[in-house]
Chain A
């Protein structure tokens, strides 16, 4: 499977990555080589094999729906790039 420039551009859009033309070009070759490596999987016979989601076959543990953590909003917002009054600031959306 090889990826053309347009596909790389589309993937980067989905992944929210802004690429230069030069990067798009370079990634096109590199991603194609990686996909060539993983294409070996297609030859494997997996008829009747159940997909493995968890290495130990465990299911999600549940806990009572009660608050266990203290509210540390100030501490967590200290590492935010821009906050005001407890709110995260971003460029104008509407």
Chain B
């Protein structure tokens, strides 16, 4: 049952071959059976899930014709999306006791409007700051392809849960690669839409000019169904874009003949693993055979994306996270005798080391005397990076390159050195700085010892070209079978 696509599940529900209760129970059973090994969920919500499943079954019994496609389909949420009445921790001790008093717009759209069933809330790096899911207060998540390796981050729980088929798909967020990098390391299809396409209302803020919600799923088709239900204008998010949402599933089967694909030379340099490169080259050839025209392009400022990001993101984080003061919600220290002490101790106890580092970097680059040299300069370089993409999209329709330099690394391998962890995002960060949509799709495997580890390729498009990216990804997935592979130890 768990190997069905979302479309197949939806059809089975409509034809009454299965009920949402059976489907939901099946995934809850899989979570109960497997998740002790992966730690992909922070909170599982079985009672609520079965109630929602029963409600979906009741609606389906009244007539399936008008039912939205996700009605009765179980989904998992990254624990960064506020879910009314459910603990929403953001992977932090700071919010370990936080029962969200309202739901994020994305959650409301998926569950209240589209009728999807909430299985639970997925583990993540604390406040989405990390690339390995090792900064979570709730412990690291394991990669289902090799449990000694990381699933990537920050949406590592969402990725591991979907990769091990503990949920058909999951929501995630991407500030510098947090959807695409875990998708690459766990063999999933993951899409970060254009900035402003999915509402950020109720999505706990990390870096507000970069954060964007999206989807982790097995295929472009599954991702299209979920994104369709999540995306759209929201008056409650001042950066939400008031523009109609395209029909993502309608154009999946459009032929790729004449599609112009650019290969950014800066993404194919020495830092890229040779086997990853071979897989990307082979995938490029598949696109060519599907009718795409492939040509080299240049993103001259690509090397500055990581340094730009590590000024802009911490600066915004230090502002956003100033709200955690031990007064209105979240962790509060015991026995403070002054307000100042209450702030300092609550924040010192509630935040983990990576979050503290980023708050301090952000505080520093925004402080008097350093603002122009760091923050202002980073904002200018950000424009140069965005202009590189504008120029490239004058010549081609989308860009193709690697998502990561190599396959999943070992747990603990990079935790001692923050900078080596930051360099994981070297290919993903630029899309966030430019606000453009980007996605990962699996394109091969690298054998290491007894394990086979997934390799991912990245497609990037100009603003609001999600439908075209999903179309290209779907066509590639019709021609190849990488996205259908599942880790053997989770059958």
Q: Give the interface of A toward B (CB within 8 A).
A: 3, 8, 11-12, 14-19, 23, 27, 30-31, 33-42, 44, 46, 49-56, 58, 60-61, 63, 72, 75-76, 78-82, 88, 90-93
Shortest A69–chain B CB gap in Å is 9
Contact B209 A54 (CB under 8 A): yes
Q: Which of B250-289 contact A (CB under 8 A)?
A: none
Q: Which of B210, B329, B360, B433 meets A15, CB within 8 Å?
A: B360
Contact B332 A18 (CB under 8 A): no
Contact A41 B101 (CB under 8 A): no
A46–B374 CA distance with the chains assembled, in angstroms: 12
What residue of chain A has the Cβ atom nearest to residue B328's Cβ?
A: A80
| B18 interface residue per 8 A CB criterion | no
What residue of chain A has the Cβ atom nearest to residue B378's Cβ?
A: A41
Contact A51 B327 (CB under 8 A): no
| B318 interface residue per 8 A CB criterion | yes
What residue of chain B has the Cβ atom nearest to residue A76's Cβ?
A: B101
Shortest A14–chain B CB gap in Å is 5
A56–B380 CA distance with the chains assembled, in angstroms: 14
| Majority secondary structure, B binding face | helix
Contact A72 B360 (CB under 8 A): no
Shortest A76–chain B CB gap in Å is 5
- Extra A-B contacts (5), CB below 8 Å, given A17-B359, A52-B379, A79-B328: A18-B344, A33-B419, A35-B364, A38-B308, A54-B239
Q: What are 27 A-B interface contacts by the 8 Å CB criterion?
A: A8-B360, A11-B364, A11-B367, A17-B344, A17-B351, A18-B344, A23-B356, A31-B360, A33-B417, A35-B361, A39-B307, A40-B304, A41-B311, A44-B380, A46-B380, A51-B383, A52-B380, A55-B386, A56-B194, A56-B463, A75-B102, A79-B328, A81-B327, A81-B330, A90-B327, A91-B338, A92-B338
**Residue total for B at the interface (Cβ-Cβ under 8 A):** 75
Shortest B299–chain A CB gap in Å is 14
Q: Which of B68-103 contact A (CB under 8 A)?
A: 97-99, 101-102
- Contact partners of A52 in chain B: CB under 8 A: 379-380, 382-383, 386
Shortest A86–chain B CB gap in Å is 13
Contact A81 B376 (CB under 8 A): no
Contact A44 B381 (CB under 8 A): yes
| Majority secondary structure, A binding face | loop
- Contact partners of A93 in chain B: CB under 8 A: 338-339
Contacts A34-B310, A44-B304: A80 and B327 contacting too (C-beta < 8 A)?
Answer: yes
| B363 interface residue per 8 A CB criterion | yes
- Contact partners of A54 in chain B: CB under 8 A: 209, 239
- Contact partners of A36 in chain B: CB under 8 A: 419
A81–B349 CA distance with the chains assembled, in angstroms: 15
Contact A90 B307 (CB under 8 A): no
| B12 interface residue per 8 A CB criterion | no
Q: Mark B232-249, 1 if CB is under 8 A from A, else 0.
A: 000100110110000000
Of B307, B310, B432, the most chain A CB neighbours within 10 A belong to B307
Q: Mark B379-408, 1 if CB is under 8 A from A, else 0.
A: 111111010000000000000000000000
A30–B310 CA distance with the chains assembled, in angstroms: 13
Q: Give the interface of B toward A (CB within 8 A).
A: 97-99, 101-102, 194-196, 209-210, 235, 238-239, 241-242, 301, 303-304, 306-308, 310-311, 318, 322, 325-330, 332, 336-345, 347-348, 351, 356-357, 359-361, 363-365, 367, 373-374, 376-384, 386, 417-419, 422, 432-435, 463
- Contact partners of B241 in chain A: CB under 8 A: 56, 58
Contact A55 B304 (CB under 8 A): no
Contacts A49-B380, A52-B382, A81-B326: A91 and B341 contacting too (C-beta < 8 A)?
Answer: yes
What residue of chain A has the Cβ atom nearest to residue B331's Cβ?
A: A81
Contact A37 B347 (CB under 8 A): no
A78–B361 CA distance with the chains assembled, in angstroms: 33
Contact A31 B347 (CB under 8 A): no
Q: Which of B102, B301, B328 meets A44, CB within 8 Å?
A: B301
Contacts A41-B308, A80-B328: A14 and B367 contacting too (C-beta < 8 A)?
Answer: yes
What residue of chain B has the Cβ atom nearest to residue A89's Cβ?
A: B327
Contact A37 B360 (CB under 8 A): no
Q: Which of B303, B419, B433 meets A34, CB within 8 Å?
A: B419
Which 9 A-B residue pairs are closest in the complex by CB-CB distance? Answer: A55-B435, A51-B379, A46-B380, A81-B332, A18-B344, A52-B383, A18-B348, A16-B343, A15-B363
- Contact partners of B326 in chain A: CB under 8 A: 81
- Contact partners of B98 in chain A: CB under 8 A: 79
A9–B386 CA distance with the chains assembled, in angstroms: 36
Contact A37 B356 (CB under 8 A): no
- Contact partners of B311 in chain A: CB under 8 A: 38, 41
- Contact partners of B379 in chain A: CB under 8 A: 51-53
Contacts A37-B310, A44-B304: A51 and B380 contacting too (C-beta < 8 A)?
Answer: yes
A14–B369 CA distance with the chains assembled, in angstroms: 14
Contacts A15-B318, A49-B380, A79-B99: A60 and B386 contacting too (C-beta < 8 A)?
Answer: no
